[in-house]
Structure 1
Amino acid sequence: MPTDLPLDASPQWLVGLVVIIVILNWLGRAASEASESWAKLLGPLGRRWRNHGIARQAKRAAEHTARMADLEDMTRQRDSLASALLTCRQSQETAFDYLTYDAAWHREVRLQAAESGCELPSHLSFFRWKQEQ
């Protein structure tokens, strides 16, 4: 005799009973977690559900607090990195502007020296100097 009966073979009232039990269980848990008086009305099971609900809320609150602390830390790190990047960018732009000016100045001095027949000592550009380092 087969032990696996299809759901169609079970009595109609049994399926309805299971559905009603599941719905009542869900409603009882929700009511117990939401209200102390419902938890008392449902007795030990209601108090158990209430305690589980309170513990779950405390756990969610702790997780939320931890996520907010992480978010604040990441925001602080982002702001610090943005500030450091801005400082670095400004320094780099200043150095580039000076090097551009310096190269033009040295070119002009070499041209004037060549026109007057004077020979200047050798001078390395920044990029050439950096290559040789």
Structure 2
Amino acid sequence: MNNKELQFAYKVRHALDASLDALPDDTTQRLAAARRVALARKKKGATVKVQQYSLANAIGGGNLSQPQTPSWLSRLGVAVPLLAGVLLFASLYQHEHSQRVNELADIDAAVLSDELPLSAYLDHGFNAFLAERGE
């Protein structure tokens, strides 16, 4: 069934469903009887195939009569953005980590190149002195 035939079938089904409540009782009883006869004639071992359609096929106008399995291209379409996201987050982490290391290296270089001994930085009185001076 091509796309136009399928659309026509959907329109017919919708029109029939819309006017279902307006049918007389004798017509609905005859339709129910015809359905029972059809079900009785159905082969015992026959199974009804239920087809599943993907949203991409319905939107893209693909062949709706046959369900399609995901191809390698559609899997690649999922994998590539996922891989790009992982690489983006890894590069952001690396950049932030290197910035933190550079900041710590600058602090260490400033402390080691200062004229004050290291014990002065551990003295609580020195911290109070710096707080009073506003440094």
> Which range, TM-score by smaller chain?
0.3 to 0.5
TM-score (ref. length: structure 2): 0.37
Which structure exhibits the higher relative contact order, with contacts defined as CA atoms closer than 8 Å and separated by 6 or more residues? 2
Max Rg structure = 1
TM-score (ref. length: structure 1): 0.37
Report which of the two has the higher share of helix.
1
